[in-house]
Amino acid sequence: MTSTLKLGCIADDFTGATDLANNLVRAGMRVVQTIGVPEGAAPDADAVVVALKSRTIPAAEAAAQSLAAQRWLQAQGARQFYFKVCSTFDSTPQGNIGPVAEALLDALGCSFCCVTPAFPENARTVYKGHLFVGDVLLSDSGMRNHPLTPMTDANLVRVMQAQARGKVALIDHRVVRGGAAPIHARIRQLQDEGVRFAIVDALDNEDLMHLGRAIADMPLVVAGSGVAIGLPQNHGLTPSAGAAALPPAEGMTAVVSGSCSVATNQQVADFIARGLPALALDPLQIAGGRDVVNEALAWATPRLGAQPVLVYSSAPPESVQAVQQRLGVGEAGAMVEKALAAVARGLVERGVGRLVVAGGETSGAAVQALGVRQMRIGPQIDPGVPWCEAQAEACGRSVHLALKSGNFGATDFFTKAFAPLA
């Protein structure tokens, strides 16, 4: 059978993967998201998004996992590849964006690719190479306090150059707004100058549509989910509502949140202010050996019903830093993720069929604990966050999941999310 696969995508975290899949679906592609690299053949789809949990692991390991995904996607027929990174360019000073991008370029035998986290629908714009989150520079946004990947420099040329061997340059907005032809010409010029990565300015969807056309024949793009809206057009595809249909949702509703991002902390506060049942997990109690998972499940079980319950470790930056000083950054993160993932699994085993998980790392841990291997992408709740349907093999049932990136979603996300499934 001839492959229908047009685009092979590798996402460095799980919420990022659904964010990308959501934008591809909205622009008309049939998309399947897999959890890790599958063993068998690709399902029939225009794009497959392989979700990795590689954003904060050692760079060499992230490159190895990404290459395994790329080889599998290539074997399924993909000729263009999309390395999905965070719209706030989350990475440690050692990587992983630079080393993974270098490894993918080498594997594809290419010398150049465009890089842009711009996602204007979620207020991520790039101007003169500087990333803005809403009205402020990345370095002035809540991302400066991120528990694992604090971002303290908004100049993406500088950030990328610190992580990459090859030369990094800029495709300025003056070029981008001119359309696909000037962008293409600038790409050729940069290639002649030996540049390996070009950060691309983009302020709105029109810029991304121009960029999409300009890179139609480029084997690799490194981007947030924004560029995805500009690629389906290269295959004659246009937006269609039918691409996002899911089977009906069943079961009770719950939210599990391990994100400490500004938006998530506001969403937790909003949920509590509505008088809905919410339980905070204390990382120091987990570290002390207390069985917080079973305590949380015992608390949640009698409260499960028509209204959602929330189990969270989300906390303001001061508390996160205090915990990290006591336990270590990686250790605290991994321990909290493990506990929340066990809570997510326990909730689904107790009848939750509609589950919101907040935080990319947290979602990765939860989806692995649920035994999910593949997800169908459904309707969008807020920009970057769709409902998905999956088989939770560890629990023997189907579940609707919304994996919410830390900084995405309206303040009432934890309640409004369930309305479309009611």
Ligand X SMILES: O=C(O)[C@@H](O)C(=O)CO
Number of residues lying near ligand ATP (CB under 6 A): 28
Q: Under the criterion CB under 6 A, does residue 337 sit at the interface with ligand ATP?
A: yes
CA 20, CA 157: separation in Å to the nearest integer? 23
Identity of the amino acid at 286: I
Nearby residues of 82 by Cβ (< 8 Å), 6 or more positions away: 7, 8, 9, 10, 20, 220, 221, 223, 227, 228, 231
Q: Which region, judged by CB under 6 A, interacts with ligand ATP, from 40-48, 96-104, 213-221, 354-362?
A: 354-362
Binds 343, which of ligand ATP, ligand X, none (CB < 5 to 8 A, cut-off by type)?
none
Q: In this chain, which of 15, 65, 91, 368 binds ligand ATP, going by CB under 6 A?
A: 15
Query: Looking at beta carbons only, is 140 or 295 nearer to ligand X?
Result: 140
CB 293 within 8 A of CB 313: no
CB of 22 to ligand X, least distance (A): 9
Q: In this chain, which of 142, 212, 258, 384 binds ligand ATP, going by CB under 6 A?
A: 258
Query: Looking at beta carbons only, is 50 or 323 nearer to ligand ATP?
Result: 323
Q: Which region, judged by CB under 6 A, interacts with ligand X, from 42-50, 82-90, 284-292, 315-323?
A: 82-90
Q: And the tokens for 60?
A: 């060499």
Q: Under the criterion CB under 6 A, does residue 333 sit at the interface with ligand ATP?
A: yes
Scan residues 14-33 and list those touching ligand X (CB under 6 A).
Answer: 15-16, 19
CB of 89 to ligand X, least distance (A): 9
Binds 313, which of ligand ATP, ligand X, none (CB < 5 to 8 A, cut-off by type)?
ligand ATP
Q: Under the criterion CB under 6 A, does residue 46 sit at the interface with ligand X?
A: no
CA atoms within 13 A on the CB side of 416: 13
Dihedral Cα 343, 346, 351, 356, nearest 10 deg: 30
Query: Looking at beta carbons only, is 232 or 386 nearer to ligand X?
Result: 386
Query: Looking at beta carbons only, is 232 or 359 nearer to ligand ATP?
Result: 359
Identity of the amino acid at 51: A
Q: In this chain, which of 5, 9, 13, 390 binds ligand X, going by CB under 6 A?
A: 13
Q: In this chain, which of 8, 10, 12, 13 binds ligand ATP, going by CB under 6 A?
A: 13
> Binding string, 94-133, against ligand ATP, x = CB under 6 A?
----------------------------------------
Binds 224, which of ligand X, ligand ATP, none (CB < 5 to 8 A, cut-off by type)?
ligand X
Nearest to 236 by CA among 9, 402, 29, 10: 29
Query: Looking at beta carbons only, is 95 or 251 nearer to ligand X?
Result: 95
Identity of the amino acid at 382: D
Q: Under the criterion CB under 6 A, does residue 366 sit at the interface with ligand ATP?
A: no
Q: In this chain, which of 163, 225, 368, 415 binds ligand X, going by CB under 6 A?
A: 225
CB 227 within 8 A of CB 212: yes
Question: Residue 143, exposed/middle/buried by CB under 10 A (0-12, 13-18, 19+)?
Answer: buried
Q: Under the criterion CB under 6 A, does residue 315 sit at the interface with ligand ATP?
A: yes
Q: And the tokens for 214?
A: 């300009």
Q: Under the criterion CB under 6 A, does residue 88 sit at the interface with ligand X?
A: yes
What residue ranges bind ligand X (CB under 6 A)? 13, 15-16, 19, 86-88, 224-225, 360, 384, 405
What residue ranges bind ligand ATP (CB under 6 A)? 13, 15, 146-148, 258-261, 264, 283, 313, 315, 319-320, 323-324, 332-333, 336-337, 359-362, 405-407
